[in-house]
Amino acid sequence: MRRGLLISFFLHIFVAFFVFINVPESFFPKNEVKAISIKLVAAKNVKKTVAKETPKAVRTQQSAAPKAPPKPKEKPKPKPKEKPKAPTIVKEIPKKAPQPAKKKIEVAEKEPKKVEPKKEDIAPDSRPAKLDKTPDKKNVIQDANKDATPVEDPDDFLKALSFIEDLKAEESAMFEGEKTEETTINVAEQAELAVLKKHIERNWYKTPGTKFSNAVLLRLKINRDGTLASLEVIESSGSASLDSSLVRAARKSVPLPIPSDKYDLFKEIDLYWNG
Amino acid sequence: MKVMNKMMQKIYISLLALVVIFTCANAEARVRINLTDPNSDPLPTALVPFDGETGDEQNVGLQIRNIIASNLQNSGLFNVVDTKAHLQSRNSLRTSGILLNEWRLINVEAVMTGHIEIITDGNQQRKAKVEFRLYDPYGSSDKPIIAKSYTADINFWRHIGHRISDDVYTALTGESGYFTTRIVHIAEEKKGDKKLKKLCVMDQDGGNYQCLTDGNHLVLTPRFNPSMQKIVYMSYANGFPRLYLLDLPTGKQEIVGDFEGLNSSPRFSPDGKTLVMTLTKGHAGNPEIYSMDLETKKLKRLTFNRGIDTSPSFSPDGKKIVFNSNRGGKPALYIMDADGNRVKRLTFGAGLYYAPVWSPRGDNIAFVKSYKGRFSIGVIDPDGSEIRQLTESFLDESPTWAPNGRVIIFARQMGDQTKLYTIDITGYNERQLITPMDASDPAWSPLLK
């Protein structure tokens, strides 16, 4: 008897638990299914603006390097990493430090043409001074502490920046759907890709109205001067006129606007149209 | 040891797999650009007037070129550049053939050149021999994409122009053209107080206008059969609304079936052997849909409902029929099998739906929708999934499809005038089709073979 009671008691609890917690959950989310398709449309527009804005963000961070403090949100991330690693990193600093710095200067020079002169002015003032001091860890840290308490080490600050940059590049790469190896594409290259995309799209008179067209994949191999070395339809849409319209666009887009120093990145390009 | 060996093996294999994965990944190290926003402007195209030896030939050549130009331009998909912009001259074309880089300079995506010759044969019949070539200025070679020639009586020069238009259209869009087609419609002529309604036919661009009836009787809803040899229409010729079949080559008219009550909204099946229509015979004036075998004249009733069932239209495979019915309380569209079974409602929601027409391509059904006193032409997927409104006005009615399922022609009433309009199924490129008289009830013919 007792057993039976116990069993029925637990069964009741189990059923009650199931009804109150699991069942309502399985009922409610059904209504939300439709929201997805609507959001996608808006998201595309948002992505574009995000991609365009990123270069601005880089600019302000660099030019504002001395004033850096106004960005407290990003610091918590680098800080905890630095403290434990501090003793080991110290030795590497002189080697590593110049590299990120150079990269950033490059980025700055290429993207925003208007701002170039300003940066040249700023860079020599701020950067070399700090870079020269890097070997003397104590000085650097002290200086940083004097200037602004939140930033402890210029190298770390730069690292923090590059970390953010990478993140943004990754994000925007994901959004734009321009997929590459890991994070080999940074913000500047992202912008160059966008230029390239626009350039080709402007030249592409897509056969209009083909409602159920399949995807097309066109592979371009590119010479150093931006001309086409080869061109191959990897994936055909099944419509000869659609395929040839894309081929025409590629040929018409020559020479492709590719930065000469980044030839290795752009020497092979896949053009993809998702039907 | 065995265990160790197995462990080592496993490690070795997984390492190998890793190496393979990495090398594969490296091989994929190229930039991918996802194109999302192609140029949606009409395709810039150059059409060189057909060249000939004599002034007469050159004149006809220019006229044919202009027919092609207006066809392509009106389709909304092409931007035919002015001949004044052409860089390569007639003489240069004659002596050195086509120089594609001269055409690349003016940014055209396709160039048509051609030649015309007028021959007088033994029966003193003048014939035009027109040959044309279509080039891709960005192609890998100087060879034309297509090259064809047509020979026909010189009086059919317009027809040659339409044929070449279809070829060019197909070569560049991948869809079949619709320029070698005719449009039958009801023309309304005002004679004093009287309004005469005539059955008239014209080319798709308004040319070769010709009326088939004199306008003494009211005529309505003309439809072509698939071979374009016959027109079925509704007429009050004997005082009652009856259906007539007009044989175009002979001009012979015959009554389809003298059934009691209203005989209306006829339409051919895709194979031209059966006719679907609405009859009220024998069921107290309630319109029902019937099909009739044109050879045996056997009648078959397809709908059995107390509501009004009308406006049947076959799917291009002939297996289904879309029709209009108010069995659900208000006029809506329904689809049934060609034998009348498996009726399924297609349209729901606000508004009243009429006059469904299945696209020849099969992927859309055009209809008239009336909502809050305004009328619009719309298209819906046959599975009811996607519905789009293309036009809206005080009164839009009678949609009909171009044979390639890409353009819809419909009648629009504005004030006391009714005119024909065309619109692309994308909803763009709405334009009026100029007719000498008011026109309504259009029906597009199949492509002339």
Q: Which residues of A touch B171 (CB under 8 A)?
A: 241
Kindly report, residue by residue over B235-276, the tens digit of the pLDDT.
888 888 889 999 888 888 888 878 888 888 899 999 989 999
Cβ–Cβ contact B77 with A under 8 A: yes
Instruction: Tell me the C-alpha distance between B144 and B134, whole Å.
Output: 5
Q: Which residues of B touch A174 (CB under 8 A)?
A: none
Count the helices and strands in chain B (H runs, E runs). 5, 30
Residue with tokens 């159920």: A212
Expressed in angstroms, the distance from the first to the final Cα of chain A is 69
Provide the pLDDT confidence category of residue B313 given band limits of 50, 70 and 90. Answer: very high
Enumerate the β-bridge partners of residue A270.
A219, B32
B40, A208: Cβ pair inside 8 Å? yes
Q: Has residue A262 got a pLDDT over 60? A: yes
List Cα–Cα distances, B150 to B51, B126, B129, B154, in angstroms: 15, 14, 6, 11
8 A C-beta contact, residue B298 and residue B307: no
Query: Could you give the percent of chain B with pLDDT greater than 90?
Result: 55
Residue B423: closest CA among B448, B436, B442, B449: B442
Token digits for B293?
């075998």
Query: Could you give the percent of chain A with pLDDT greater than 90?
Result: 1
Kindly report, residue by residue over A167-197, the tens digit of the pLDDT.
655 555 444 444 444 445 677 788 888 888 8
* Shortest distance, CA A246 to any CA of chain B (angstroms): 10
Give me the pLDDT at residue B241, please: 87
Kindly report, residue by residue over A55-81, the tens digit of the pLDDT.
444 444 444 444 444 444 444 444 444
B146-153 vs B309-314, strand pairing mode:
unpaired
Give me the pLDDT at residue B410, please: 95
Residue A271: closest CA among A172, A201, A176: A201
Token digits for B411?
């009648």
A242 sits in which H/E element: helix A240-252
Interface of A with B in 205-234 (CB under 8 A): 205-212, 219
Residue B104: closest CA among B82, B135, B76: B135
Sheet containing B274-279: order of strands: B263-268, B274-279, B288-293, B299-301
* Interface predicted TM-score (ipTM) of this complex, two decimals: 0.74
Instruction: Tell me the C-alpha distance between A139 and A152, whole Å.
Output: 11
Kindly report, residue by residue over B358-397, the tens digit of the pLDDT.
999 898 999 999 999 999 999 999 998 889 999 999 999 9
Nearest to A210 among B33, B109, B174 (CB): B174
Q: Which residues of A touch B31 (CB under 8 A)?
A: 178, 180, 185, 193, 265-266, 268-270
Token digits for B11?
């490690």
**B190 or B112, which is more confident?**
B112
* Residue of A41, A172, A201, A205 to mutate when probing chain B, most B C-beta within 10 A: A205
**Buried (b) or exposed (e) across A253-275, using 16+ Cβ within 10 A?**
beebebeeeeeebbbbbbbbbee
Provide the pLDDT confidence category of residue B22 given band limits of 50, 70 and 90. Answer: low
Instruction: Tell me the C-alpha distance between B173 and B154, whole Å.
Output: 29
Nearest to B37 among A177, A201, A208 (CB): A201
* Residue of B26, B35, B380 to mutate when probing chain A, most A C-beta within 10 A: B35
* Shortest distance, CA B262 to any CA of chain A (angstroms): 40
Residue of A nearest to B29 (CA): A181
**What's chain A's average pLDDT?**
60
8 A C-beta contact, residue A190 and residue A172: yes
List Cα–Cα distances, B52 to A155, B48, B60, B90, in angstroms: 78, 12, 9, 10
Q: What is the pTM of this model?
A: 0.69
Vertex B261 angle, CA B259 and B266, to 5°? 65
- Residue B311 backbone zone (phi > 0: left; psi -120 to 50: alpha; other: beta): left
Residue with tokens 């097309």: A216
Residue of B nearest to A249 (CA): B138
Residue of B nearest to A202 (CA): B39
**B64 or A152, which is more confident?**
B64
Give me the pLDDT at residue A169, please: 55
Most confident of the following: A43-47, B2-6, B17-21, B297-301: B297-301
Q: Quick one: average pLDDT of A226-242?
A: 86
Instruction: Tell me the C-alpha distance between B201 and A174, whole Å.
Output: 57
Q: Quick one: average pLDDT of A194-223?
A: 82
Instruction: Tell me the C-alpha distance between B134 and B151, whole Å.
Output: 18
